[in-house]
Amino acid sequence: MTTVLKAPTLRPTRSKATGRKNWGYTALAILFLAIMLFPVYWMVNASLQPNGTTLETSWLPLKPDFTGYATAINEQAGNLGTSLVISLGSVALSLAIAAPAAYALAYFKVRGAGVVLFAILISQMIPGIVVANALYTAYNDLGLLNSIPGLILADSAHGIPFAILIIRAFMNGMPASVIEAARVDGAGHVRAFWSIVIPLSRNSLITAGLFTFLFAWSDFLFALTLTTTEAVRPVTLGIFQYIGAYVNDWSSVMATAVLASIPAIVLLVAAQKYIAAGTTGGAVK
Amino acid sequence: MSLTTDLSQTAARSTGKAKAKSGRPAGSPTEAQKPRRRTRQRRERIFQWLFLVPAVVYMALFFGYPVVKNVVMSFQDYTTATFFTGEAPWVGLANYVTVLSSSLFSTSLLNTALFTIGSILGQFVIGLALAIFFQRKFPLNGILRSLLLLPWLLPLIVSSAVWRWILDKDSGALNRFLGDLGIVDTGVPWLTSTSLALIAVVGVNIWIGIPFNLTILYGGLQEIPDELYEAGSLDGATGWKAFRHITWPMLRPVVSVVLVLGVVYTLKVLDIILGLTNGGPANSTQTIATQSYDLSFHEFKFGEGAALGNVLVIISLVFAVLYLRASRRAVDE
């Protein structure tokens, strides 16, 4: 019950035109893009405006002013660090759990694989608030509230099912003969997995890792519900607290928003091919 | 279903598949070899399961346990007092009665429906239109299409903050833009009027969802073989006709998956609403998800919050069943 994950390559799209350059369509597409990305532009623009209650933000940041960033870094640097630690921890945990599981599902075809996959699909349907509700009481008993490990564990709930699906889809396409050859040569399961399967699946692991990072970095619900003090505060919660009150210093809020967007923007620009492979990941399975 | 019996059954029912895997020709082994091979196979099975155990444990703790715990809590009077006394008295269906009969529930139910239907319709129609547009061949197609993913990759709370500023009544970019065009003359209270806030929140959610719809639908469109369109055009099916008789029927499985996933994701939306309006003004953007959050984490009535969360789970599960049927059909075809 799977479709092989294909990175949408740039194969020639359908058109009646015989390969003629259609710059007119490009212009139209750029117009769409400009409309869709206006909020992103506005965020950057507003973050470069001088502080204070300027009622008229200028349409262009002709006189860039970095006081917003100074305030943001001053107040949110610790929170950005917290977010980074949690996200990296979540990537490590998710890959450590998801990669062996994906291998078992794809290569061993263990009995019960269907049940596991079904559980993964259903898990996507469970509202976060339901999980948070139960975790809060459990964390309260276990002393995991306001802790980095607690948030790493909770945030991986987005990443692990997704990572299993992505990596498994890739491993399904891996030639079994390679692994069997290693097994015949006397490599144990663990060794075959570690020295052959993992290197071969590198790209899918990177894709899964990048998305897991993004999920944990963007998490807001668990940050909101599983922390009660300033001690451990991801940047998403920092932003929420900025906008929860009456805001009169939008340039600092927007500067923080820009800083919190950096991972997403970097991924989109630098890791294009991995992102393309991931976008269709959890969907049509 | 216990794991051990499952394993022993499979070991007992070992087939030729395992033999082929063991890398030796599937000849007939001598009688003496058989029992030994059986234990080895059992060891093998257990070993294979070990790869899966961490994931199964994690899923059980972070998805299974919360769902069960919520069902239990929803029948208890679970409040902050519980944390000190450790007691949560059983109250039967009282939480459900309280929650479902409150006047706020009908408001949130209606808002949830409007929010979901509005978001899905907008995301899907615009996403499909863009997907069809990007089928055309033009320079920079791939790069532009991938840049469109940005709204979907940004942290939701970041998007909320940005839109909050754009939709600001007095100095937001939208009102200034509309004002410059002379469409409105005073600041429109997008997020602070009871009649407009829900529309504004839906609008923002549509913006967030377009990239997802575009990507999946574009992938589905790419799968439709060119020959069909060529054959169709010979029969005079072009443009709208081709879309109605070729594209739409062929795309249907993908469409149903996108729509159901969209509904399930939209039902649980929390970040965007909390970030933009916090459920206000006067509960006009309160949905079942936000109300469940309020009950648990603002009023500390965890039992009632759990009951409302379960209502949301049940609604989602109905769509989950639809999803599984749709995706199965998508694969079969």
DSSP A256: H
pLDDT tens, position by position, B204-213 = 999 999 999 9
pLDDT at B153: 92
Residues of B whose CB is below 8 A from A112: 6, 52
pLDDT tens, position by position, B82-105 = 888 888 899 999 999 999 999 999
CB spacing of A22 vs B139 below 8 angstroms = yes
CB nearest to A164's CB, from B55, B63, B310: B55
| Interface residue A60 vs chain B (CB under 8 A) | no
pLDDT tens, position by position, A122-151 = 888 899 999 999 999 999 999 999 999 999
pLDDT at B87: 85
Kindly report the nearest CA distance between residue B325 and chain A, in angstroms.
Answer: 12
Query: Which position has the higher pLDDT, A100 or B261?
Result: A100
Q: At A281, is the pLDDT very low, low, confident or very high (cuts 50, 70, 90)?
A: low
Tell me which of A27-31, B34-38, B104-108, B257-261 is least confident: B34-38
Residue A162 has pLDDT above 80, yes or no: yes
CB spacing of A129 vs B264 below 8 angstroms = no
Give me the phi and psi of B301, to 5 degrees please.
-100, 80
Answer whether A260's CB lies under 8 Å from A84's CB: no
B301 has which bridge partners?
B79
Q: What is the mean pLDDT of residues B157-162?
A: 96
pLDDT at B33: 57
The per-residue pLDDT of chain B, averaged, comes to: 86
Residue B220 has pLDDT above 50, yes or no: yes
CB nearest to B146's CB, from A250, A264, A268: A268
pLDDT at B171: 82
Q: At A98, is the pLDDT very low, low, confident or very high (cuts 50, 70, 90)?
A: very high
Answer whether B320's CB lies under 8 Å from A122's CB: yes
Residue B329 has pLDDT above 80, yes or no: no
DSSP A11: P
Enter the tokens of residue A203: 């790209």
pLDDT at A15: 46
Share of chain B above pLDDT 70, in %: 88
Residue A177 has pLDDT above 80, yes or no: yes
Query: Which position has the higher pLDDT, A88 or A64?
Result: A88
pLDDT at B20: 38
Residue B17 has pLDDT above 50, yes or no: no
Residues of A whose CB is below 8 A from B324: 118, 121
Answer whether A211's CB lies under 8 Å from A95's CB: no
Enter the tokens of residue B217: 């639908």
Nearest CA in chain B to A96: B54
Q: At A56, is the pLDDT very low, low, confident or very high (cuts 50, 70, 90)?
A: low
For residues A86, A90, A96, A102, the Cα torsion angle rounded to the nearest 10 degrees is: -170
> Which spans in chain B are helix H?
3-12, 16-21, 33-59, 65-74, 80-85, 94-101, 103-133, 141-147, 150-153, 156-166, 173-181, 197-223, 226-234, 239-242, 248-267, 271-276, 288-297, 302-332
pLDDT at A174: 83
Whole-prediction pTM:
0.86
Q: Give Rg (Cα) of chain B.
A: 27
pLDDT at A157: 95
Answer whether A125's CB lies under 8 Å from B264's CB: yes
Kindly report the nearest CA distance between residue A105 and chain B, in angstroms.
Answer: 8
Q: Is B188 left (phi over 0), alpha (psi -120 to 50) or beta?
A: beta
Cα gap A44→A68, rounded to integer Å: 11
Share of chain A above pLDDT 70, in %: 86
CB spacing of A105 vs B52 below 8 angstroms = yes
| Interface residue B331 vs chain A (CB under 8 A) | yes
Cα gap B264→B259, rounded to integer Å: 9
pLDDT at A75: 92
Residue B119 has pLDDT above 60, yes or no: yes
| Interface residue A218 vs chain B (CB under 8 A) | yes
The per-residue pLDDT of chain A, averaged, comes to: 85
Residue B69 has pLDDT above 50, yes or no: yes
pLDDT at B19: 37
pLDDT at A284: 37
pLDDT tens, position by position, B187-203 = 899 999 999 999 999 99
